[in-house]
Amino acid sequence: MSKSGALDLASGVGGKIEKKQVFSAVQKYEKYHVCYGGDEEERKANYTDMVNKYYDLVTSFYEYGWGESFHFAPRWKGESLRESIKRHEHFLALQLCLKKGMKVLDVGCGIGGPMREIARFSDAWITGVNNNEYQIARGEELNHNAGVDQRCNFVKADFMKMPFSDSTFDAIFAIEATCHSPNVRDCYSEIYRVLKPGHCFAAYEWCITDYFDPMNQEHQRIKAEVELGNGLPDIRSIKECLEALKLAGFEVVWEKDVAADSPLPWYLALDKNHFSLSNFRVTACGRFITRNMVRTLEFLGLAPEGSQRVQSFLEQAAEALVEGGRKGIFTPMYFFLAKKPNF
């Protein structure tokens, strides 16, 4: 970790939370989760607070370690992590047949990495919905730096209740974002409402697979640690997501767990036994350096108290993701293309 990189990371921890309140925010966030005595219903009832706290706390860590696009991707041998992420985003744009002049919605857009890449790739106009003030401010800065601020914009809103008229958008996509919703059917119904008839919605969802055994304590532990480290109210099954799409009114064009036949494991970048210079910061060695630098910065008062706790639950989540991937009980990229029927 370079000195400037470390200071950028430290200055971003906590997002819009006052620095002196970061530690208490970490404690409150943790208490929503099973690992700390919380339960699913409490997370769903307080999802706005929980998810906002999560992204205030972790965004600087994500951007430092992963880049501007906070998602996984299937990966070919000889392909870098960044190359696979771009290809994953281009694949989605191609499935939606995005082109110049189309009005597109990115649901749960983060700091806008995929939005910028897809806008450049397709020449479409893209609006990103995000309910986190800090991520929007950071995303607007990155849009300006990339020269796409006339083509990409952010709207601060809860994607469960969006401030758009019915049948507004030509296409809608979500990349590992609607997993934060407290009710997936209601989320898909709201997306259905703002999509034009005859047009499509495509997404990558986080799901548990058919190999997940709810009676298996180890499976339950892995699921709980993934939820803790990723701000999730619950992880749904593929069957639940597919059923929710149909109940919302969509016609499913096609669907597939695209992680299943990835030439390289989707979790490879997080595997502590794998070393790569191209994504060094998320390797075991890179995480060790980051961990100790964060500890030092917190000790010196350059990073707020609680920064180490955030680093800790993110590392715990990384290990759980690798375990879930190896056991085949979890996928971060169940893909579907769904169409809103013509009336």
Q: How many CB atoms lie within 10 A of CB 96?
A: 22
Q: How far apart are CA 22 and CA 9, in angstroms?
A: 14
pLDDT tens readout for residues 255-274 = 999 999 999 999 998 887 76
Which letter does DSSP use for residue 343 in this model? -
Model pTM? 0.94
Q: Which of 88, 132, 86, 90 is nearest to 109 (CA)?
A: 132
pLDDT of residue 8: 65
Contact 266, 72 (CB under 8 A): yes
Residue type, 281: R
Domain span holding position 164 = 1-343
pLDDT tens figures, 24-42 = 999 999 999 999 999 999 9
% of the chain beyond a pLDDT of 90: 78
Q: Could you count the other beta carbons within 10 Å of the beta carbon of residue 239? A: 12
* pLDDT exceeds cutoff 70 at 241: yes
Supply the pLDDT for residue 142: 97
Count of structural domains within the chain: 1
Which residue type occupies 138? R
CATH of the domain at 204: 3.40.50.150
Residue 163, phi then psi, degrees to nearest 5: -85, 45
pLDDT at 1: 43
Q: In terms of pLDDT, which residue wins out, 81 or 10? A: 81
Longest Cα–Cα distance of the chain, Å, equals: 63
Q: Taking the CB of residue 308, how many other CB atoms lie within 10 A of it? A: 18
